[in-house]
Structures are given as C-alpha cells and as structure tokens.
C-alpha cells in the first residue's frame, strides 16, 4: 500500500459528510489532514474557517478537495492552483463555462492536477453500458430524473439562488452519464424550464436533444417527486434496449440485469484523482455543464406556482 496523500477537504456540509469523508476513509489513497469550513469541523483534522488562512498556514498540504457550493468555487480553485495545489471540484465544477475553462488553463500553466468530477459516471453500470453501446446504432434515448428536493437538499437555500443550478444540480448527473456513454457531442434543440414564482432557479425542465448522428434524446427533470425516486436512462439501439436505473447503479440489457451492486461512486472519484496526481494529468470534461448552458439558451421560461421546501 502506498502512503496516503494528505488532503484538505473544503466545505464540510451534507455531501462532504455523507460521501467524501467516508469514501476517503475507506480508500487507500488520501487522508483528511485539514478541513476548511465556516461552520463544520472534521474530528482528527486541523480545522480552519478561512481558506486563504489555510493556504498560508499549510503549504505542505498539496491536495485540495472543494465541496463548497459552485458559486464560490472559482475563487478558491484559482487561489489553490496559484499556490501549487492539486484541486478536485465537486459537481457542477463552476457556475459558468467561462469559469471552468479559465481554471483548466490556470492549472495547465501551473503544472498541477485539476479534476472536474462527475460522480454518477462512477456508478457501477455506467462503464459496461458505455462499452456495450460503443458498436451499436443508437436510435433514441429517454432520460427521466425525478426526485424530492426536500429529501436530498434539506435547508440548502443556496441551490435556489443564482449559481445554484436548481433542478439541474441533480439533472447534471444524468447529463454526465449521457455524455459518458454516448460518443460524440450532444446538442440541445429546445427546452422548457419551469421556475416557481418564489424561486430564482428552476424546479423542472424538459429538454429535447440529439446526438451527432441525429438520434433524438428527451430528458425530464423534476424536483417535486414524492414517494419512490426515479433516475433512469433508456437507450433504444439496433441490438435492443439498454436501461440504466437508480442513477446508473443497475444496468439492464434486453430486460436482463447485467450489473448491480453497492454504491462506489465517490470511492471511484478518489481513486481516479490519485491516479491523475501521480501521472501529473488533469481531467476537465465540461460537456455536461455546456448542455445545461445550452438548455437555458434554447429554453422557454415558464413560471409555475410557488414552492415551499
């Protein structure tokens, strides 16, 4: 076993506690040596409330994992890169493509690793789905991604503010899988985006897209789903139907289960990050973010009833 790499975890909120901390602890590559958060702390780590203070005080910590909301991530990532740190960014990596692309160039110039993560790409069924589709003719794709915001984002007001992404915060997970399993670029044709009259970010979206070869893609995102949650991608091909369910953790081909198992998405992220650092490489695919931006550009805005979360 190689020595664990000391890491600073920034933004100690729900996603850090639910996913990042246990995945790092359960892996062999990193150890949380520093935590940076205005409110949260990590037991056994040195805790800071100010990011710049951390950078100045701990030049020995060369790896930073940013779990903050996206609207504050650019300045932190820029400062970390300038200080020679390797940076992992939670999804979505930035609030705009301009910010994301600027960070890629800054990391390249500084010679550090930048990893724009898409955790759903590490779901168990995604890679075998990509492999199976690689020599098939895709005829159509349907995405249904519906969940209850009150269950998954309790008290997180930032998701309704500018830069918070609204329903595209979970929806971009579906887009990250889509762009992983389908070769070539995905193009948005039109969309209808629903905004509650009391919110600044959308609660639902219907998007019509197509592949480079012209296969139609439909996506339905909704944050008002009660009861069972739905995270499905169905692909019709010349060789039959492929379906990814439960966010990519289950794969069915022709109705027969081909892959299922426990969640290892964030474990996969940190394994990938360690390999990138050791190889002195970066991974900054922003295609899911581009599709979100294009959906707004091609979208019809629809105001719907107020929503109380």
Catalytic residue (choose from 91, 136, 200, 302): 91
Q: What is the pLDDT of residue 1?
A: 45
CATH number at residue 81: 3.40.50.720
Nearest to 222 by CA among 192, 252, 188, 189: 192
Of the candidates 72, 101, 116, which is a domain's last residue? 116
Q: Give the domain range for residue 209.
A: 120-260+292-304
pLDDT in tens, the chain (309 residues): 468 999 999 999 999 999 999 999 999 999 999 999 998 999 999 999 999 999 999 999 999 999 999 999 999 999 999 999 999 999 999 999 999 999 999 999 999 999 999 999 999 999 999 999 999 999 999 999 999 999 999 888 999 999 899 999 999 999 999 999 999 999 999 999 999 999 999 999 999 999 999 999 999 999 999 999 999 999 999 999 999 999 999 999 999 999 888 889 999 999 999 999 999 999 999 999 999 999 999 999 999 999 998
Residues 87 and 71 in one domain: yes
CATH number at residue 150: 3.30.360.10
268 occurs within a structural domain: no
Residues 93 and 131 in one domain: no
124 occurs within a structural domain: yes
Residues 69 and 206 in one domain: no
271 occurs within a structural domain: no
73 occurs within a structural domain: yes
Do residues 158 and 265 make contact, with C-beta atoms less than 8 angstroms apart? Answer: no
Q: Is 19 helix (H, G, I), strand (E, B) or coil?
A: helix
Residues 136 and 109 in one domain: no
Residues 126 and 62 in one domain: no
Active site residue 91: yes
What distance lies between CA 192 and its chain's CA centroid? 22
Residues 127 and 85 in one domain: no
Length, in residues, of the chain: 309
Q: What is the pLDDT of residue 259?
A: 85
Residues 143 and 236 in one domain: yes
**Sheet order of strands, 46-48 included:** 46-48, 30-36, 5-10, 63-66, 86-89, 114-116
**Number of compact structural domains in the chain:** 2
Q: What is the pLDDT of residue 2?
A: 62
Residues 59 and 189 in one domain: no
Q: What is the pLDDT of residue 31?
A: 98
Residues 24 and 86 in one domain: yes
Of the candidates 116, 149, 172, which is a domain's last residue? 116
């Amino acid at each position: 076993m190689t020595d664990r790499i000391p890491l600073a975890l920034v933004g100690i909120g729900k996603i850090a506690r639910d996913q990042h901390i246990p995945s790092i602890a359960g892996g062999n590559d990193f150890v949380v040596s520093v935590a940076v958060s205005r409110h949260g702390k990590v037991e056994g780590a040195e805790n800071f409330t100010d990011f710049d203070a951390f950078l100045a005080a701990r030049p020995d910590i060369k790896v930073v994992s940013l779990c903050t909301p996206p609207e504050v991530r650019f300045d932190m990532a820029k400062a970390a890169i300038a200080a020679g740190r390797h940076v992992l960014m939670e999804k979505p990596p930035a609030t705009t493509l301009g910010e994301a692309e600027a960070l890629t160039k800054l990391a390249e110039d500084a010679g550090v690793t930048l990893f724009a993560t898409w955790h759903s790409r590490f779901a168990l069924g995604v890679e075998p789905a990509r492999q199976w589709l690689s020599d098939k003719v895709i005829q159509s794709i349907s995405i249904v991604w519906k969940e209850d915001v009150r269950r998954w984002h309790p008290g997180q007001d930032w998701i309704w503010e500018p830069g918070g992404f609204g329903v595209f915060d979970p929806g971009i997970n579906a887009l990250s899988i889509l762009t992983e399993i389908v070769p070539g670029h995905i193009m948005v044709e039109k969309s209808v985006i629903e905004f509650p009259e009391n919110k600044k970010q959308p609660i639902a979206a219907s998007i019509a897209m197509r592949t480079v070869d012209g296969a139609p893609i439909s996506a339905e995102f909704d944050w008002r789903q009660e009861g069972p949650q739905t995270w499905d991608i169905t692909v019709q091909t010349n060789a039959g139907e492929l379906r990814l369910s439960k966010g990519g953790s289950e794969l069915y081909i022709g109705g027969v289960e081909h892959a299922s198992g426990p969640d290892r998405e964030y474990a996969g992220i940190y394994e990938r990050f360690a390999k990138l650092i050791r190889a002195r490489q970066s991974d900054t695919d922003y295609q899911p973010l581009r599709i979100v931006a294009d959906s707004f550009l091609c979208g019809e805005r629809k105001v719907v009833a107020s929503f109380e979360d």
